[in-house]
Amino acid sequence: MVKRELGVKINDTLHEINLGNVKAFLIISEKGLILVDTGLPNSEKKIIAYINSIGKSVSDIKYILLTHSHMDHFGSAYALQKMSNAHIGINEKGIPYIDGSKGLLIPVSNSKSFKNKLFVRVLPLISKLMKPKYIKADMKLKEGAFPKEMGVDAKIIETPGHTKDSISIYLRDSKTVIVGDLLKGTDKRLESPPFFEDYVSLINSINKIKELKPDLICVSHGKDHNVDDIFV
């Protein structure tokens, strides 16, 4: 069996960490590391192994930003925050789903495929079995530039559709944008995700990303592509 890479360097500012079916991203800032998403519960070991492989340590993580509140994105935030003492940021609408006050946010399937429908039916049970640890956010991510103290020229773009709380992160220097689950990567192109709450918002958000004319679009599931590879 070929061993999958722990992760890959995209450019000087951005790395991608493979966590099986989902990815996390690591932004290298002047002030330390900014981790974007944390995978399912128990992904912390893989994330730390990758961070160590590039000569950094878990205590270098200063911020953990979540693209949205699905469990495969915030699942290991609790464990990593405990080890790093990092700030936790998410869009305001996602707070009640990561702090436990509204329970878990279950993905909404708009696909007619039997597989997706079945997946959504069993998801609440699977999620419970995974025992996610809820976490308090101390930063509300909304449209606009990163605060100066974060040490990187980037901005938050509100991109609802997959969920109401979905955000993207645009790194201006490299013209790279992390879109989370706004798009799904296949080997050949970027498509709409199998799960989304509102199609009109999804399309508006995808158009917002297109207008940036980014050089690279990084997705949480599947392969990254450039903006010309969007087929939605």
How many residues touch Zn ion under the rule CB under 5 A: the total is 2
Using the rule CB under 5 A, is 93 a contact of Zn ion?
no
Nearer to Zn ion, 70 or 225 (CB): 70
Nearer to Zn ion, 9 or 121 (CB): 121
Nearer to Zn ion, 23 or 70 (CB): 70
**Given CA atoms 208, 201, 157, 184 in this order, what sign does their dihedral have?**
negative
Instruction: Report d(CA 117, CA 123) in Å as an integer.
Output: 10
**Region of 41-49, 64-72, 205-213, 224-232 interacting with Zn ion (CB under 5 A):** 64-72
In the list 23, 46, 62, 70, the residue contacting Zn ion (rule: CB under 5 A) is: 70
Touching Zn ion, residues 129-148 (CB under 5 A): none
Q: Of all residues in this chain, which one has the CB nearest to Zn ion in the complex?
A: 70
Using the rule CB under 5 A, is 181 a contact of Zn ion?
yes
Instruction: Report d(CA 68, CA 72) in Å as an integer.
Output: 10
Residue 230: DSSP 8-state: B
CA-wise closest residue to 77 among 36, 106, 46, 27: 36
**Region of 5-13, 66-74, 122-130, 152-160 interacting with Zn ion (CB under 5 A):** 66-74
Buried-state track 185-222, b at ≥16 Cβ within 10 A, e below 16? beeebbbbbbbbbbeebbeebbebbeebebebbbbbbb
Give the nearest distance from C-beta 40 to Zn ion in angstroms. Answer: 12
Instruction: Report d(CA 53, CA 5) in Å as an integer.
Output: 11
Structure token digits, residue 27: 């932004």
Nearer to Zn ion, 32 or 180 (CB): 180
The overall longest dimension of the chain from CA atoms, in Å, is 47
Using the rule CB under 5 A, is 165 a contact of Zn ion?
no
Structure token digits, residue 161: 């559709």
Give the nearest distance from C-beta 166 to Zn ion in angstroms. Answer: 8
Give the nearest distance from C-beta 60 to Zn ion in angstroms. Answer: 27
Give the nearest distance from C-beta 100 to Zn ion in angstroms. Answer: 18
Which residue ranges make up the site for Zn ion (CB under 5 A)?
70, 181
